[in-house]
Amino acid sequence: MNEIDRIAGNLPVTDQMPLLFVGHGSPMNAIEDNTFSRKWAELGKQLPLPQAILCISAHWLTSGTFVTAMEKPRTIHDFGGFPPELFRQQYPAPGSPEMAEAVIGIQHENQISKDFDWGLDHGTWSVLKPIFRS
């Protein structure tokens, strides 16, 4: 049994979630009322609440491949030239060290390391915030 199967066996049965590719566009979409933010909010109302979300981001400038492995990843404001309101945005989504371990465990072609410093960059939180508002 692989790590994903082991973790999945401990989760409650829910509706199957779709696989989504969502490009973030301008980070201003996280605070503006526009076509993008309204569609993302509409999508959030249609989706069941997920047990976990795996986001793949191209915003890390690193040597190697990493997975966020902390329980409380910080909100990263990796941009410049935007209004202060955007820099005040926080997205305190819980992390999952167990899921990070599972991702590492199922990928065998490249080495993936755990990251305990970076957090959720705007390519992640600027989309998830409108979809999964609390």
Residue spans per domain, the chain: 3-7+25-131
Query: Which residues, in sequence order, are CB contacts of 105 under 8 Å at separation 6+?
Result: 2, 3, 4
| Type of residue found at 1 | M
Q: Assign 27 to helix, strand or coil.
A: helix
pTM > 0.85: no
CA 109 to chain centre: 23
User: Within 1-134, where are the H helices?
Assistant: 3-8, 35-46, 84-87, 97-106, 122-131
| Type of residue found at 129 | K
Q: Which two tokens stand for residue 1?
A: 């049994």
Interval 3-38: pLDDT, tens? 667 766 776 776 777 888 888 888 999 999 999 999
Interval 71-116: pLDDT, tens? 999 999 999 999 999 999 999 999 999 999 999 988 888 899 999 9
Interval 30-60: pLDDT, tens? 999 999 999 999 999 998 888 888 888 877 7
Homologous superfamily of 3-7+25-131: LigB-like (3.40.830.10)
Q: Which two tokens stand for residue 94?
A: 């819980």
Helix, strand, coil shares of the chain, percent, nearest 5, are 35, 5, 60
